[in-house]
Amino acid sequence: MQPLFEAYSFIFGLLIGSFLNVVILRLPVGKNLVSDRSCCPKCQAKLRWYHNIPVVSFLMLRGKCAFCQSPISWRYPLIELLTGLVSLWLFPAELSSLSLGFYLFYFAIACVFICHFFIDLDHHLLLDKLNIYLLVLILPFAVLNFYWMHWLLGGLFGFGVPLLITWLFYKIKGQVGLGGGDIKLFGLLGLLLGPTGVFFTIFLSCMVGAIVGMTLILTKKLNKDRPMAFGPAIILVASFQIFLPQFAHIVESWFF
Ligand SMILES: [Zn+2]
């Protein structure tokens, strides 16, 4: 039965990924997520149900709109496939109500991460709405964890340290370094990862951000008027810590 359940979890992930595409497109511009049927962004033709099958429709249509033939972004099938694979990766090897609960908890966090990642890339925004979803997910989990010093200190540290750095940066250079969304996200991650975990998130995401920023400057792909989005670096590092803890612990041990 296990392979069958795993196949279901992959298909479930693909379908949720299709919904995440809608969220990424519509949430930042305030459009309704469920009422309107999807349409082609070029010719505005309403899509039929068979144009909306995750990954399959993109391949069948050879990446082009069925009505106006304008190219469809490869990002849609990529996000669907990514969500499907994340669901499969997180699916428990042994089924119980507890393991399924953990699966749903971590999968929901992964879904918010995927939305944060791409919305921040497109709009330079880590939306409060998504941060509130994260808070609603993480806070009960953290409180049930009983080891309250862990999450309380983590939250204070995750929120306080980036806030302090931003304040100092502003005092010295007169520029705002980190956005409010970045600071809130660090605070939320602190609730989940604890003080040492979130210290690592802050440290490593700054390193990843610096490496990516430098690469973009060297390849002349960074627009000087529009600073680089920092959210994707935070999301990448936090995903590494949360979803691949066995590897993250190895990297953490290099530094501590
Ligand atoms: Zn079209």
Per-range mean pLDDT, top range of 92-96, 112-116, 196-200: 112-116
Residue 53 pLDDT > 70: yes
Expressed in angstroms and rounded, the spacing between residue 61 Cα and the centre of ligand 1 is: 12
Residue 144 pLDDT grade (very low, low, confident, very high; cuts 50, 70, 90):
confident
Residue 225 pLDDT > 70: no
Span 238-253, average pLDDT: 90
pLDDT at 77: 96
Span 120-136, average pLDDT: 94
Expressed in angstroms and rounded, the spacing between residue 216 Cα and the centre of ligand 1 is: 32
Other CB atoms within 10 Å distance of the CB of residue 140: 11
Over the chain, what is the mean pLDDT? 91
Expressed in angstroms and rounded, the spacing between residue 43 Cα and the centre of ligand 1 is: 4
pTM listed for this prediction: 0.92
Residue 108 pLDDT grade (very low, low, confident, very high; cuts 50, 70, 90):
very high
How far apart are alpha carbons 188 and 242 in whole angstroms? 13
Expressed in angstroms and rounded, the spacing between residue 40 Cα and the centre of ligand 1 is: 5
Please answer whether residues 192 and 151 qualify as being in contact, where contact means their C-beta atoms are separated by less than 8 angstroms.
Answer: yes
Name the residue type at position 183.
Answer: I
Interior/surface letters 62-92, b for 16+ CB within 10 angstroms, e for the rest = eeebbbeeeebeeebbebbbbbbebbbebbb
The closest of 233, 256, 234, 237 to 248, measured between CA atoms, is 237
Expressed in angstroms and rounded, the spacing between residue 81 Cα and the centre of ligand 1 is: 23
Residue 153 pLDDT > 80: yes
Residue 228 pLDDT > 90: no
Span 72-80, average pLDDT: 95
pLDDT at 96: 93
Residue 224 pLDDT grade (very low, low, confident, very high; cuts 50, 70, 90):
low
Q: What is the pLDDT of residues 12-21, one digit of tens each?
A: 999 999 999 9
Other CB atoms within 10 Å distance of the CB of residue 147: 9
Cross-strand partners of 39: 46
pLDDT at 101: 93
Expressed in angstroms and rounded, the spacing between residue 46 Cα and the centre of ligand 1 is: 9
Expressed in angstroms and rounded, the spacing between residue 71 Cα and the centre of ligand 1 is: 8
Enter the tokens of residue 93: 């090897």
Tell me the backbone φ, ψ of residue 71, rounded to 5 degrees: -65, 140
pLDDT at 249: 85
Phi-psi region of 194 (alpha: psi -120 to 50; beta: other; left: phi over 0): left
